[in-house]
Structure 1
Amino acid sequence: MLHRCRRSPASEPVAAELRCRGFRSARRGDGPARTGDSGRTVSSPIDDWRPSASWEVLEARAGMLTRLRRDFDRAGFLEVETPLLSGDVCVDEHIEPFVVSGLDDEQLFLQTSPEFAMKRLVADSARLIYQVTRAFRRDEVGGQHNPEFTMVEWYAPGSTYLLQMDLVEHLVRGVAEVAPRCPPWTALPSSGEPFGRLSYDEAFARGLGVEVLGRSTDELVELAGRELDSVPDSLDASDRDGWLNLLLAERVEPTLGKDRPEFLYDFPSSQAALSRIRRGEVDVAERMELYIDGLEICNGYQELTDADELAGRMVEQSQRRASAGRRSLPVTSRLESAQRSGLPDCAGVALGFDRLVMRTLGLERIEQVMAFPFRRA
């Protein structure tokens, strides 16, 4: 939980590091303080009017965003805008949208991603498009999460999720070039060293010594019992994805992107979401993610284009939500109609800009790169 409090003492080394990079300290008196129930000194809510990020960080962030837009423009992408409020919403068993009462009490949603609307644009024009927007997700508050955050999303008709790794690397390097830097800034390798690339199975083989995509749920349960100190009591023994995600989070993700940024690609087919599944001896979802120092920065898909398959997956996700006791969401959308008219083969990528700024500046908490995070909004 993100408390209403002054900047953590941990921000002092950060302030010193930013001064080393040419930043001036922006720390000011935080005003009257009170003691919370835990005995820890926290600021009064009335003092939360100040931004949680320093002006030096906000200036650096603005420069990074300017560079990102420049690189998209030079790559031939058109910047677009799509609604933040819509009756359509991406149905995902793990993501909870904010619900808003619209005109005539219709149910509307703050968008968890611009995906649906942007794919409608691609279906209509087959153009290279990108967007810098706000996305909203309930129940996501913490050191690396905020319910409202900045997402950079783009779609490239005729491209592939593997080729988009090259563009992601180019964009991240561009952002890093304009970021103030000094030792021990080590988030990115030298310009001549490419980002790492590991398949899902290769990452598990490196972290745990075994490949997992072809293993049964019972084998995964046994592996978790052997490798982890404890497992959640709530995790169902038959939930294969749950066991894969647990092992990934505990033993694999912390190792990703430590020496250099690394892409993780070709996920379990059961975790395809709206990506295409490649059939083979072991089916895989054509997905990729970028990690920097153990933190996921972006994810990309070879996009699902089949409208019937889309409809089936929305129903499946809705059923999973119902089983988990989550709110019912509409399973039909204008995207389905757009895909029936013809969505071209394309790759799409969503990048968490706040997280990229965090890792580029060597900061640890998302509130350090936002003017007003959720608890100060």
Structure 2
Amino acid sequence: MQPWQPTTTHDARVARAELLRTIREFFYARNVLEVDTPLLSNGTVTDEHLDAFDTQFNFASSGKPSKLYLQTSPEYAMKRLLCAGSGSIYQVCKAFRHEGEGRWHNPEFTMLEWYRLGYDHFALMDEVDALLQETLNTASADKMTYQQAFQHYLNIDPLSADDEILLGAMEQHHIDIHAPQSLSYDSKLQLLFSYVIEPKIGIERPCFVYNFPASQAALAKLSSADERVAERFEVYYQGAELANGFHELSAANEQRLRFETDNEKRKENGLPTKPIDENFLSALDTGLPACAGVALGVDRLLMLKTGASHIKEVINFNVSRA
């Protein structure tokens, strides 16, 4: 195959077009509005586990060069629309994450993100489940809490276990990481989850894992029933992490604190701090309607639909051929 040629087949391109049509029909039937937001922004994510591409803009209105970021997700801009009275919305767009390419990931990929007014994370899980049934013809999904997953597969309570218990479990399951004792508590949990739990869930039908530890809350509300957990979910199916959703945090002060805490963690780990998206926080100040939102990887969804073994089989030109 010559470097100029696409890595997809014509059938894969047809399958993508059909999948996008099904997605749009799904939301049209539910009266959810399709929107479009910028891919370039002055602010970006502060999460220490995400890294955005950046570029220099030489023609800013200030007359000085400025740094812009390719968005890892359209989340902040979409929430600004929600604050402006858009109602329930969805978007299919390109997203960018400065990470290596692999079986499930290309640095430029297609994301489906949507927000439902008046929903909590349970209602949104049901809608994600309905979309998977519509697009992949799956059976109704399984659901378990993050705590239940650890208790079932590792006999560990992730909300109360100490570092020694987690380190012992890592050793028992042959997770060979340099200086594991230097990892944060959440990093240990994430390694145990990805190495031990993920391969065992979502095999025959999708599996939702919800109520993650509060320290992994990101942009989710803390549970009113148990403030040790955040109202966040992820869904797994046949080896793929497909989606990440939240009962959305609406308090601007709390969100700013989380961003600042992220940047402190970045400093501690020798990473550059990131500019906080002030337009997003200003929008939250005016009031975000009660809602839940989720981001889903369209390329991964298409891989499962077509039986592809690598993401390059469903992307016309992956980063190596871009």
Closer, same or farther: CA 119–277 of 1 in aligned 2, 3 Å: same
Mapping for residues 147-226 of structure 1, pairs under 5 Å: 147-176=107-136, 188-189=138-139, 194-225=140-171
Read off the aligned partner of 2:245 and give its amino acid letter. G
Could you report, residue by residue, the CA deviation over 1:298-355 in whole angstroms, capped at 9, with x for unpaired residues?
0100111000001101101111122222222112420100011111111000000000
Aligned to 2:27: 72
CA RMSD of superposed structures (Å): 1.5
CA contact 1:161–1:288 (8 Å) conserved in 2: yes
Partner of 1:16: none
Distance 2:315 2:180 in 1: 34
Change (3 A) 1:308 1:373: same
Question: What does residue 134 of structure 1 align with?
Answer: 94
Aligned to 1:56: 11
Per-residue CA deviation, residues 212-238 of structure 1 (Å, 9 max, x unaligned), is 22212222122222x322431143446
With the length of structure 1 as denominator, give the TM-score of the two structures: 0.81
Contiguous gaps of at least 5 residues in structure 2: none
User: How many angstroms apart in 2 are the aligned matches of 1:173 and 1:55?
Assistant: 25
The alpha-carbon deviation at position 76 of structure 1 amounts to 1.0
Structure 2 Cα separation of the partners of residues 246 and 176 of structure 1: 29
**1:222-301 map, 5 Å:** 222-225=168-171, 227-237=172-182, 239-280=184-225, 283-301=228-246
Q: Is the 8 A contact 1:54 1:368 kept in 2?
A: yes
The answer as to whether partners of 1:78 and 1:128 remain within 8 angstroms in 2 is yes
Q: CA–CA distance in 1 between the matches of 2:182 and 2:164?
A: 8
Question: Contact between 1:217 and 1:238, CA under 8 Å: does it hold in 2?
Answer: no
TM-score computed with the length of structure 2 as normaliser = 0.95
One-letter amino acid of the structure 2 residue matched with residue 365 of structure 1 = H
Query: Does residue 1:344 correspond to 2:289, yes or no?
Result: yes
3-state secondary structure, aligned to 2:24: helix
In the alignment, structure 1 segments of 5+ residues that lack a partner are: 1-29, 31-46, 178-187
Q: Secondary structure at the match of 1:264?
A: strand
Distance 1:171 1:113, change over 3 A: same
Q: CA deviation at 1:176?
A: 2.3
Which residue number in structure 2 is paired with residue 308 of structure 1?
Answer: 253
8 Å Cα contact 2:154-2:169 kept in structure 1: no
Residues in 2 aligned to 1:134 and 1:234: alpha-carbon distance in whole angstroms: 36
Structure 1 position 282, deviation (Å): 6.0
**Alignment CA distance shift 1:203-1:167 (3 Å):** same
Aligned length: 317
